[in-house]
Amino acid sequence: MPSYKSVRPVPFSAAEMFALVADVEQYPQFLPLCENLSVLTREAGPDGTSTIVATMTIGYKAIRESFTTRVSLDPEHRSIIVRHQDGPFKRLENVWGFRPRGEAACDVDFAIDYAFRSPVLGLLMGAVFESAFRRFAEAFEQRAAVVYGVRPPATHTATT
């Protein structure tokens, strides 16, 4: 069962990073492997939370796969949870957390746990996914610099 976790201090506020990760429509512009993303539904909850159902197409060389996820956004608790609904995964869940480090910085927690339905696809895409997941947090930090402006780097911590 492949999984990956990282904690990345960034020079952007928790609110800024939450908004950036929640803006799923922009992912094809900067996220590794992401070729397309279509929002199917968007629902606002009574407590300030919201849910997005979206289909993402990922690609690597000649391989293209699309999958649908349910994205739960909770701005009050600064968390985003993504769960698989349909596609090539048997299981896919990733969790984002944004912990303030003062007013202008935060720690971005990213964890993902997944398994492909097809062992063959798992063999073909496993190493590519692992490499892409290791670059996700960095891709979001680079995107934040484009959206919010370049800032001095925060101290980075280890990933597992």
> What are the domain boundaries of the chain?
3-148
Query: What is residue 53's predicted lDDT score, i.e. its pLDDT?
Result: 98
Burial status of residue 116 (CB atoms within 10 A of its CB: 0-12, 13-18, 19 or more): buried
| Confidence tier at 80 by pLDDT (50, 70, 90) | very high
Query: What is residue 3's predicted lDDT score, i.e. its pLDDT?
Result: 85
pLDDT tens by residue, 7-64: 999 999 999 999 999 999 999 999 989 999 999 999 999 999 999 999 999 888 888 9
- C-alpha–C-alpha distance, residues 79 and 147, integer Å: 20
* Local structure of 50: helix, strand or coil: strand
Among 24, 157, 21, CA closest to 101? 157
At CA 28, angle to CA 103 and CA 89, rounded to 5? 100
Among 36, 13, 55, 33, CA closest to 124? 33
Q: Does domain 3-148 correspond to CATH entry 3.30.530.20?
A: yes
CA atoms within 13 A on the CB side of 91: 7
pTM: 0.89
| Confidence tier at 1 by pLDDT (50, 70, 90) | low
Query: What is residue 123's predicted lDDT score, i.e. its pLDDT?
Result: 79
